[in-house]
Amino acid sequence: MSTTLTDRFDRALLYATHVHGGQVRKGTSTPYVAHLLAVAATVLEYGGDEDLAIAALLHDSVEDQGGKARLDDVRNRFGEAYLAHLRTADEDILWVSLADKVHNARTILRDLRKPDIGEKVWARFNVSTKQTLWYYHSLAEIFCERLSNQLSDELREIVEVVEAEVAKARVGRTSRT
């Protein structure tokens, strides 16, 4: 089954680009819209429809950029049916959240492996490395339990590799002292 993207998707992409304007990913120079595109792409690659792809593009708009006023604007531009669909479709909401977390975990792993970033990646978070790892590990377990699909398995695998990288770095620091 093929998903057709209409002008609604185009409008959502323009809207997300406008809302997140000059914003960059925390601790990087990467435009924030790159994250939104990656989440939308993941949703589509795993069989999500246009509504889910739009939700992926807009998933941080309300939280990061304007609260209730932004929510009302999204509702006016993209329709009540779209938002009602997201509120009632628990599994769909999980899919968008899972795609978001997979992209975040991939970014952590990629940056953890960069010589110029490495363990400095953890400074992006408001909690300790241990708490961040626990959070992602817990998310992976929940997604694997609730959705039990290839993407949730991928999140678990990425988290396991990140945990192994952190453990390896700790051993390296211990052996140098």
Q: What is the span of the domain harbouring residue 76? A: 1-88
User: Which CATH number covers residue 78?
Assistant: 1.10.3210.10
Shared-domain flag, residues 102 and 150: yes
How many CB atoms are closer than 10 A to CB 66? 14
Q: Of 41, 66, 88, which residue sits at a domain end?
A: 88
- Can you give the pLDDT at residue 83? 38
Which of 66, 88, 110 is the last residue in one of the domains? 88
Q: What sign does the CA torsion over 12, 154, 91, 130 have?
A: negative
pTM over 0.85: no
Q: Which of 64, 88, 112 is the last residue of a domain?
A: 88
Cβ atoms of 44 and 3 closer than 8 Å: yes
Neighbours of 159 (CB within 10 A): 23
pLDDT of residue 123: 94
* Number of structural domains in the chain: 2
Residue-averaged pLDDT of the chain: 84
Residue 154 is predicted with a pLDDT of 97
Whether residue 82 sits in one domain with residue 4: yes
What is the reported pLDDT for 67? 61
Q: Does residue 83 share a domain with residue 107?
A: no
Q: Which residues of the chain have pLDDT under 70?
A: 1, 62-89, 175-177
Q: Do 100 and 67 belong together in one domain?
A: no
- Give the HSE-up count for residue 14: Cα atoms under 13 Å, Cβ half-sphere: 8
pLDDT at 81 (0 to 100)? 65
114 and 79 co-located in one domain: no
